[in-house]
Structure 1
Amino acid sequence: MSKGPVLILGARSDIGLAVAHNFASLGHPIQLAARNVDDLEANRNDIATRHNVDVTLHAFDALDQDSHAGFIDSLPELPQIAACAVGYMGEQSDNEQDMAAAALVMRSNYEGPASILGELANRFEARGSGTLVGISSVAGLRGRATNYVYGSAKAGFTAFLSGLRNRLAKKGVHVITVLPGFVATRMTEDMDLPAKLTAQPDEVADKIANAVERGKNIIYVRPIWRLIMAVICSIPEGVFKKLEL
């Protein structure tokens, strides 16, 4: 039986490419979507050759919401699985002082991803099948002084995915929320990350493929993050204000 195509939104990212390789290795055709997508021609050829599947490139801008419906219409086939790896962290110090910088982070991590997944959700619902995967962050589970702009956007995205999952639960459409914790990518390469808490992009991709197969709803890539965030979220606000997190 042929397997349905997988759409990767934000295919330029390390996680996006890892997810593409993983699903291609399982026999799924791949649709790579990103800005300046022609730059991904080498990646397209690599995935197609290595895994012997069809791979197509598609221009996509998460921030251009008016283009999202047309973008979906332009795909060669409505995907069976769509994974959104769109994201932008920025610098908290800049985001605090420059509201335009803060807005870019908020739109990149919440508004844009929610818009495109919302459009896809309606198409999947009309068809009666499909899986939507949103890569959010543990940073959205409680606001911390060191990254609250990014964290607030991810909190919004996490809540959106939760509501979408609840809405579509009886419509044949599955929604997965991914909470990776630290991941070793180009976005975090300047950070001093603890090895035991830091996943690799391939690890994230494996967890996503497993969650799709098993019908999981919320996944922590490394289970220890569930405990860490439970502790952080349980700290009383009066005490939390005194901490440097």
Structure 2
Amino acid sequence: MRRVLIAGATSPLARYRAHEFARLGDTLFLAARDSDELERIASDVRIRFGATVHTGRFDAAAVEEHEAFLQDVIRTLGGLEGVVWVAGTMDGLAEAFRTPQAVKRLIDVNFTGAASLLTLAACYFEEQGEGFIAGISSVAGDRGRGQNYPYGAAKGGFSLFLQGLRNRLSKRGVQVTTIKPGFIDTHMTWGRDKLPFLASPQRVARESVQAILGGKDIAYVPAIWWLVMLVIRAIPESFFKRMNI
């Protein structure tokens, strides 16, 4: 039995990850901004799996609150074995091409908030000598594209942060896993036509948890995205900059 914190737990992807951990008998702490929705999700997980589930309000962008928040989680659970970062947003992407405020919001939620909480978790696990950290990044962070580069830049920075964290903690018995989903069938992709390899949140959650508990360093989900991004990264910049992808 593990005690696992899921940050950003009201998204469909996070909800199904909670199902996967609960099915394995883990104790969960679900955290997000919407307390009412959190409690509905927690109640559903308790009924479905008979799991012990706690909830707490968490704002990814309020980094000044993160230390007290994590201490409360550890106190509530009586310890901690894993942290899964799922919080993220593409809201305001169109505005982020024009306004500094919108760019800041995307970076605050998708990178700064993640780096803040996971830095605190890393210190805790490093001292404990065991634990796991998993961060949900994105294939959007593998190469800058004109259609989403403010979001992609934040996710690319997050992937590099996790890589460095993995290098730091691998000698201390702490596993760090980077999950890179492709297109997921959620509100973030609704209304967009002809998305390749569109996956359900249930599938992405299942494969993500398998990668985390299997000790993988980096996992593209579905796995086909590893090949797709290998090809995209190999395109020369002189040609890539003229492409509309």
Q: Hey, what's the Cα distance between the residues in 1 that align with 2:174 and 2:132?
A: 6
The Cα RMSD (Å) is 1.2
Letter in 2 for 1:69: E
The one-character-per-residue Cα deviations of 1:157-188 (angstroms, maximum 9, x if unpaired) are: 00000000000001011000000110111222
- More divergent stretch after superposition (53-62 vs 160-169): 53-62
Letter in 2 for 1:6: V
Three-state SS of the structure 2 residue aligned to 1:169 is: helix
**Counterpart for residue 183 of structure 1:** 184
Q: Tell me how far 1:63 sits from its aligned partner.
A: 0.6
**Counterpart for residue 7 of structure 2:** 9
Q: Tell me how far 1:24 sits from its aligned partner.
A: 0.3
Q: Tell me how far 1:15 sits from its aligned partner.
A: 0.7
**Counterpart for residue 158 of structure 2:** 157
The one-character-per-residue Cα deviations of 1:200-233 (angstroms, maximum 9, x if unpaired) are: 1111211122112221110011122111111111
Q: Tell me how far 1:193 sits from its aligned partner.
A: 4.4
Q: Hey, what's the Cα distance between the residues in 2 that align with 1:34 and 1:4?
A: 20
Report if aligned partners of 1:125, 1:168 keep a CA contact under 8 Å in 2.
yes
Three-state SS of the structure 2 residue aligned to 1:183 is: coil
Q: Hey, what's the Cα distance between the residues in 2 that align with 1:175 and 1:216?
A: 8
Three-state SS of the structure 2 residue aligned to 1:8 is: strand
Q: Tell me how far 1:241 sits from its aligned partner.
A: 1.4
Cα–Cα, structure 1 residues 42 and 91, in superposed 2: closer, same or farther, change >3 Å? closer
Q: Tell me how far 1:43 sits from its aligned partner.
A: 1.3
The one-character-per-residue Cα deviations of 1:17-56 (angstroms, maximum 9, x if unpaired) are: 1100110011011111001223322211110111011111
Q: How many residues align?
A: 242
Report if aligned partners of 2:93, 2:148 keep a CA contact under 8 Å in 1.
yes
Q: Hey, what's the Cα distance between the residues in 1 that align with 2:24 and 2:130?
A: 19
Three-state SS of the structure 2 residue aligned to 1:215 is: coil
Q: Tell me how far 1:4 sits from its aligned partner.
A: 1.6
Q: Hey, what's the Cα distance between the residues in 2 that align with 1:26 and 1:193?
A: 35
Q: Hey, what's the Cα distance between the residues in 2 that align with 1:213 and 1:134?
A: 13
Q: Hey, what's the Cα distance between the residues in 2 that align with 1:105 and 1:204?
A: 23
Q: Tell me how far 1:70 sits from its aligned partner.
A: 0.3
Of 67, 83, 99 in structure 2, the residue corresponding to residue 69 of structure 1 is: 67
Where does structure 1 lack aligned partners over 5 or more consecutive residues? none
**Mapping of residues 1-245 of structure 1, within 5 Å:** 3-75=1-73, 76-77=76-77, 78-194=79-195, 197-245=197-245
Where does structure 2 lack aligned partners over 5 or more consecutive residues? none
Identity between Structure 1 and Structure 2 (%): 41
Three-state SS of the structure 2 residue aligned to 1:187 is: coil
Q: Tell me how far 1:66 sits from its aligned partner.
A: 0.9
Report if aligned partners of 1:182, 1:193 keep a CA contact under 8 Å in 2.
no
TM-score normalized with structure 2 length: 0.95
Three-state SS of the structure 2 residue aligned to 1:143 is: coil
Three-state SS of the structure 2 residue aligned to 1:83 is: strand
Report if aligned partners of 1:168, 1:174 keep a CA contact under 8 Å in 2.
yes
Report if aligned partners of 2:42, 2:55 keep a CA contact under 8 Å in 1.
yes
Q: Hey, what's the Cα distance between the residues in 1 that align with 2:213 and 2:87?
A: 22
